[in-house]
């Protein structure tokens, strides 16, 4: 890691997911939170074993599948926590719908990214505004754009706060095994062939042998499949 500062304490080594979380929560709590997209609950389980009062937030785009809301409810009940929800600004969504219609995200990559910017990126910016670090479920095997993700990064897009990716080197099978062995709540869309879950209108099940991210924005090329929440940062 780069030389430590008061905002970015030093961390030595790559470490396991537990090692990284223990360091991050010790260094940044309470100005650190887990970003939960309801892909899995491994991060919450690992973090709560270190700090039961860890903060968890999520972005409600207004277009999430019913199964995702059910998963959120199950998480709150299982862990005894309250998820901090952030929503897109009503006026921005209303303007987008009036100007471009409800299906503009299928017209071009630029139009889809405009929708993501309003429904995801802007709420995330507000969620991170008062934090010094955030914890994500980004994994290197998910997509080409995440292949070089570090476990600890400087998030230049959000004011240079620290971005923690404890599961960067985990596989999909490791995630599923942990969830099963620890009897954690999970999104039931995974039982229906989904391997990555976002908005209902932008996510589909994948066929056997397809890339795990093939069901996200399936009409776009693989190198375009990011919504703006996770852009390339500097690993440290």
- Domain membership of residue 228 (yes or no) is no
**Average pLDDT of the residues in 103-123:** 92
- Domain membership of residue 9 (yes or no) is no
- Domain membership of residue 8 (yes or no) is no
The answer for residues whose C-beta is within 8 angstroms of residue 179's C-beta and 6 or more apart is 40, 41, 42, 186
pLDDT of residue 161: 95
Q: What is the DSSP string of 52-65?
A: TT-EEEEE--S---
pLDDT of residue 4: 37
Q: How many domains does the chain have?
A: 1
* Given the residues 36, 71, 116, 227, the one annotated as active site: 227
Q: Which domain holds residue 43?
A: 17-220
The answer for residues whose C-beta is within 8 angstroms of residue 201's C-beta and 6 or more apart is 63, 105
What's 111's domain CATH number? 3.40.50.620
Instruction: Give the model confidence (pLDDT) of 126-170 as tens digits.
Output: 999 999 999 999 988 876 667 778 899 999 989 999 999 999 999
Specify the 3-state DSSP secondary structure of 25. Answer: helix
pLDDT of residue 3: 33
From CA 187, how far away is CA 1, in angstroms rounded? 35
pLDDT greater than 80 at residue 222: no
Give Rg (Cα) of the chain: 17
From CA 4, how far away is CA 190, in angstroms rounded? 41
- Domain membership of residue 171 (yes or no) is yes
- Domain membership of residue 97 (yes or no) is yes
pLDDT of residue 211: 78
pLDDT of residue 216: 84
Residue 116 bears catalytic tag: no
Give residue 213's pLDDT band: very low, low, confident or very high (50, 70, 90).
confident
- Domain membership of residue 209 (yes or no) is yes
pLDDT greater than 90 at residue 94: yes
pLDDT greater than 50 at residue 6: no
**Average pLDDT of the residues in 163-186:** 93
pLDDT greater than 70 at residue 14: no
- Domain membership of residue 29 (yes or no) is yes
- 120, 57 in Cβ contact below 8 A? no
- Domain membership of residue 79 (yes or no) is yes
Specify the 3-state DSSP secondary structure of 66. Answer: helix
- 135, 47 in Cβ contact below 8 A? yes
């Amino acid at each position: 890691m780069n030389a430590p500062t008061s905002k970015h304490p030093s961390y030595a080594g790559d470490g396991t997911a537990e090692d990284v979380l223990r360091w991050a929560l010790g260094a940044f709590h309470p100005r650190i939170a887990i970003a939960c997209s309801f892909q899995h609950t491994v991060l919450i389980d690992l973090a709560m074993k270190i700090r039961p009062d860890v903060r968890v937030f999520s972005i409600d785009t207004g277009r999430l599948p019913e199964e995702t809301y059910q998963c959120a409810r199950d998480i709150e009940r299982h862990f005894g926590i309250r998820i901090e929800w952030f929503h897109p600004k009503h006026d921005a969504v209303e303007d987008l719908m009036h100007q471009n219609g409800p299906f503009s995200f299928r017209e071009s990559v630029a139009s889809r990214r405009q929708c993501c910017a309003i429904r995801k990126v802007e709420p995330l910016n507000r969620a991170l505004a008062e934090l010094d670090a955030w914890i994500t479920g980004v994994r290197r095997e998910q997509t080409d754009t995440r292949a070089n993700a570090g476990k600890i990064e400087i998030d230049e897009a959000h004011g240079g706060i620290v971005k923690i990716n404890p599961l960067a080197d985990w596989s999909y099978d490791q995630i599923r095994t942990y969830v099963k062995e620890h009897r954690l709540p999970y999104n039931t869309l995974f039982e229906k062939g989904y391997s990555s879950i976002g908005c209902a209108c932008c996510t589909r099940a994948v066929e056997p042998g397809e890339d795990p991210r093939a069901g996200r924005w399936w009409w776009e090329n693989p190198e375009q499949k990011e919504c703006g929440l996770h852009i390339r940062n500097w690993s440290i």
